[in-house]
A and B are shown apart, each in its own frame.
Chain A
Amino acid sequence: MTGACLPPQDAPPRRDRAVDHEKQGPIPMATSTDKPRSFQEIILRLQSYWAARGCAVMQPYDMEVGAGTFHPATTLRSLGSRPWAAAYVQPSRRPTDGRYGENPNRMQHYYQYQVVIKPSPPDLQALYLGSLEAIGIDMDLHDIRFVEDDWESPTLGAWGLGWEVWCDGMEVSQFTYFQQVGGHDCHPVSGELTYGLERLAMYVLGVDHVMDMPYNDPQSPTPLTYGDVFRQTEGEYSRWNFDVANTDVLLRHFEEAEAECQSILEQPAEDPKTGKRIIMAHPAYDQCIKASHIFNLLDARGVISVTERQGYIGRVRTLAKACADAFVQTDAGGFTAKQGA
């Protein structure tokens, strides 16, 4: 066993921490149990709940991704031995799910709320349940269940075990203990929570069609629904994704992103200009994200056959693995000068 696998020395053994926690009662008190009134209020409550529990509240990653997991704050930061705790909203794009804004709950652009904590704390389930209470789910009236759901991302070379969380039969979150990312075993293990924000909010707010959901407070001078904000863009992107996106250009961009990612990672660790050790894991990973999203667009355009599909997924995975390999050679990835010596 390497030193990285041991708990930090100043922390008491896990069992004791769990006991301490139980003295406070298994469910942390929510900040506010009254019902939220809008989509954005649910997000704000999640932000302050997780901020109060010690997470760095980060901002969305500024690139197109298919899920919050792709944010480097999750993929890359779940690697290596350094402790980590972050929470953020991530706009997510799934071109094939576009329905021109007409489907009650399916869109090509939606939001995920993502929490990632490394090492996973022993009371993560209780913390999670506390967050549901914080957004107005009354624990005495609902039936919350943890139903087996193993997570695997072939594009990221990642897998984990956990559950989908059901509230009265509806899946409201995914709960995963990462075991491997980018082909690397996770030591320590990160706990990841992913909330499908629209679906969760529709449930809490009692709305049947996502476009009817209040985006801001309905009592405000300019009340806006989710549809006011997104119905038009859903139509525009659905048309572009399915019928207009130039597949030749996309194919070329895929190749270019792949080549750029590889060439970034081929650079020597030492920067010839500054003389410093600078491994460019994040810029390389940006190209990997880009390739992944372009693949999704090509898929939506229907130009990728079933056999080719596996090939593309494999190519993105190769990039993700190479980025993971690079990240663990960096400071944030737990690399120390001693290891390098």
Chain B
Amino acid sequence: MPDLLIELFSEEIPARMQARAAEDLRKKVTDGLVEAGLTYAHAAAFSTPRRLTLAIEGLLAQSPDTREERKGPRIDAPQKAIEGFLRGAGVSREDLEERDEKKGKVFYAVIAKKGRPAAEIIAGVLEDTIRNFPWPKSMRWGAGSLKWVRPLHSILCILTDEAGSEVVPMEIDGIKAGNTTEGHRFMSRGRFTVTSFEDYAARLKRAYVMLDAKERAEHIWHDATNQAFANGLEVVEDKGLLAEVAGLVEWPVVLMGEIAEDFLDLPPEVLRTSMKEHQKFFSVKNPKTGRIERFITVANRETADNGATVLAGNQKVLFARLSDAKFFWENDLRVARTGMQTWTEQLSNVTFQNQLGSQADRIARIKSLSGELAPSVGADTDLAMQAAEVAKADLSSEMVYEFPELQGLMGRYYAAAAGLPDEVAQACEQHYSPLGPSDDVPEGAVARTVALADKLDTLTGFWAIDEKPTGSKDPYALRRAALGVIRIILTGDLRLNLDHFIDSQLMKHKINLSRDGADGAEMAALEDVLEAIADHGVFGAAFRTVIAKLDGKNDAPDTGKGSLLGDLGNRMPDLSADLLAFFHDRLKVYLRDQGLRHDVIDACIAMPGNDDLTLLVKRAGALSDVLATDDGANLLQGFKRANNILTQAEDKDGVSYEYGADVKFAETEAERDLFAALDTAGASISAAIEAEDFASAMQGMAALRGPIDGFFEAVQVNTDNEVIRRNRLNLLSRIRTICLSVADLTRIEG
């Protein structure tokens, strides 16, 4: 069985695209081959800056013959139907067979296909792969129309078996497949012929090309750590950078250089970021002091002077870069020491989002929301507001302009330089957190307050302008923001009524958005609603109060259909409910990852007070625990049985059984036991729920399992005696009421 070797040789492929492209090449070619009937034993793909390579072992020498039968119309079918069948099957009338079937004689077409030689199939599959390659961005060059990531220069495509190797004949836009390639751009000259994958890899290595990116990365890391170790230092690990650098070289040569004394006092993050982003250098630190003292650069070649010129050049470039960084740092510190007002003022010229105003507008909103949230988060209100005011000031700094990824971190340094309290500096750095499901939640209460306010303001803002995430599109990372809110609340065990904050913040956005189109009376009414939300908790009641107050006044604004206030009254409750539902969705995803079943969460979301996420999760946790016990699982069955009987009876009788179960109509001991158990449980469960002690409430509920089971064993609910039947149904209703006060068990599956 032959082996196949393909190499697509081009000008430099962007490092970030190489690994994915090698994998795409493997997948597209092997899928195409298998689809055409060519199976194989093993396939491996490789990439360097200038080539994508695919080696397939144990390929079939040709695809197997195939025979396909197709059933056609009856032989007496209209001519048109028969012709259509012939066209579809690609055969002629003479090739059809007539066969007897139950309904009469029917045409059959037998389509036999001879297997095709591997080379022919490969040529087709490879051309198709090249023409439809999923590059993130591709280009044309010269006068041709072929697209590739950068100009494609040559194609190597050979089949090798015991008898030797041969070129797979193919040509694409003037590039003919051959059996030659070239080595390193500078360290080797001319093209050479290869006969197999082993031969190819070996000759490439002699021509100073390490084919395997993994080998290059290992080589780099090994040499880098060795050189650092020899100097009593260690390389700061950075897997992303290692992968990128391995994609920039075919022949890695590791060189370690010095950082000039002048720059060693820059914050280590600045050194690291500047060296990484601009120069793709690794940082080398002194393990004793934690200071970054040297750098590692990876050249793509050996040179006559063992890298001396290359290293000197790199060192010089780094000097210029770090001079810039130091210049930014010192300028920024000067501004910071004056209190950062210059920066916060500049943010009024920076647009956050067209409709949502400038960064300064946004900061003002976050500041006032931080003030409102602080007591619930356990933060000092003044500190929280002060922190919110400066948390984004560093966006105006020169350092963050140069290195946006240092936002927040520089804020911390600059707030400290401004002499602001530690909590404020901490909030500058941490208020962006958490950035993902595994990222840390801010530590201090002040940082948590600002982080919450920032995210809530963003979410309500984009909801207010109808820019919600759809499908895979979430350009403003709103899902991440919602998850951040959830994690901060849960980590801090915070008790807050999300509904209230959603409503008031949505209202603030609506007021800002209406400012241009609304008249004075309307604006006054909107402000009144906002104030009333503080008293009433949520929008609905607040809105009605204000509308009632306006009613009958002479200069009252229009509140009818189509008016600003009328629309607001109609739209706000939906908007707010929609955002809360968005939080619940994110919460479900988050808790599911923690192993909590979605139906358990649904059962708790259906309960009142579901905007208090801490409470909601406590309830869900307790429910999940109790359902895992034998009593809990059985109770659930008992509840469902009671609920089913009850629902059917209610449907049949057209009444609802809610009150009036009386122990005096009880006929059996089991019934009387259940009465007694429900009396006890009812009282203890409502006390436990009152105290938010869900574990006890659940246990109280689970304790009903015995009496309920006993009841169903001993008693037939639907007896002929109508009085006793109704009494028993009312008794079942007490089970339902008590259980539903704990969680909506009807939503639990199974």
Contact = CB atoms under 8 A, between A and B. Distances in A.
Interface stretch (B308-316, B434-442, B456-464, B697-705): B308-316
A44 interface: no
A147 B313 contact: no
B554 interface: no
B138 to A, nearest CB: 8
Contacts of A203: 313
Nearest to A6: B143
Nearest to B350: A306
Interface in A159-203: 160-163, 167-170, 177, 179, 186-189, 191, 203
B264 interface: no
Given A144-B186, A161-B150, A14 B144 contact: yes
A119 B146 CA distance: 14
A221 B300 CA distance: 43
A125 B350 CA distance: 41
A191 B12 CA distance: 15
Given A25-B189, A143-B303, A144-B186, A170 B141 contact: no
Nearest to B190: A22
Nearest to B249: A145
A193 B272 CA distance: 31
Contact of B301 (A143, A163, A167): A143
A142 B313 contact: yes
Interface string A101-137: 0001100000000000001111001000000000000
A7 B12 contact: no
Contacts of B142: 7, 14, 119-122, 188-189
A267 to B, nearest CB: 33
Nearest to A19: B191
A52 interface: no
A147 B300 CA distance: 12
A276 B227 CA distance: 73
A142 B309 contact: yes
B143 A7 contact: yes
A170 to B, nearest CB: 5
A88 B350 CA distance: 39
A258 B739 CA distance: 75
A105 B316 CA distance: 13
B687 interface: no
A168 B308 CA distance: 10
Contacts of A141: 303-305, 309-310
Contact of B300 (A145, A162, A179): A145
B304 A140 contact: yes
Interface string B342-375: 0000000111001000000000000000000000
A219 interface: no
B151 A177 contact: yes
A148 interface: yes
A79 B43 CA distance: 44
B227 to A, nearest CB: 17
A274 interface: no
A218 interface: no
A8 B522 CA distance: 71
A145 B176 contact: no
B415 interface: no
B174 interface: yes
B174 A125 contact: no
Contacts of B174: 13-15
A169 B318 contact: yes
A220 interface: no
B297 interface: yes
A143 B151 contact: no
B171 to A, nearest CB: 8
A125 B11 contact: yes
Interface residues of A, number: 50
B297 A169 contact: yes
A339 to B, nearest CB: 19
Interface string B287-301: 000000000010111
A178 to B, nearest CB: 9
Contact of B141 (A15, A26, A148, A177): A177
B515 interface: no
A307 interface: yes
Interface string B113-147: 00000000000000000000000010111111100
Contacts of B309: 141-142, 168
B175 interface: yes
A26 B187 CA distance: 12
Contact of A119 (B143, B189, B249, B351): B143
Contacts of A121: 142
A38 B11 CA distance: 33
B14 interface: yes
A229 interface: no
Contacts of A18: 153-154
B314 A140 contact: no
Contact of B317 (A144, A163, A168, A186): A168
Contacts of A122: 142, 151, 153
Contacts of B11: 125, 146
B338 interface: no
A305 interface: yes
A143 B153 contact: no
A29 interface: no
A168 B15 CA distance: 18
Interface string A246-260: 000000000000000
A22 B191 contact: yes
A169 B300 contact: no
Interface string B165-199: 00000000111100000000110011100000000
Contacts of A191: 141
A63 interface: no
A14 B152 CA distance: 11
Contacts of B303: 140-143
B16 A167 contact: no
Nearest to B349: A305
Contacts of A8: 143
Contacts of A145: 248-249, 300
A169 B280 CA distance: 9
A191 B151 CA distance: 11
B514 interface: no
A150 B137 CA distance: 10
A244 interface: no
B562 to A, nearest CB: 31
| Among B16, B318, B349: residue with most chain A CB under 10 A | B349
B434 to A, nearest CB: 29
A51 to B, nearest CB: 22
Interface in A297-337: 305-307
Contacts of A120: 141-142, 151
A278 B403 CA distance: 50
Contacts of B318: 169
B140 A179 contact: yes
B23 to A, nearest CB: 19
Nearest to B309: A141
Interface in B317-351: 317-318, 320, 323, 349-351
B279 interface: yes
Interface in A1-56: 1, 5-8, 13-15, 18, 22, 25-26
A303 to B, nearest CB: 11
19 contacts: A7-B144, A15-B154, A22-B190, A22-B191, A104-B323, A141-B309, A142-B303, A142-B313, A143-B300, A143-B301, A145-B248, A146-B12, A146-B49, A147-B12, A148-B12, A148-B16, A161-B149, A169-B297, A177-B150
Given A14-B174, A141-B303, A148-B14, 17 more contacts: A13-B174, A25-B189, A120-B141, A121-B142, A122-B142, A125-B11, A141-B305, A142-B310, A142-B313, A146-B12, A147-B15, A147-B248, A148-B12, A161-B150, A169-B317, A188-B143, A191-B141
Interface of A: 1, 5-8, 13-15, 18, 22, 25-26, 104-105, 119-122, 125, 139-148, 150, 160-163, 167-170, 177, 179, 186-189, 191, 203, 208, 305-307
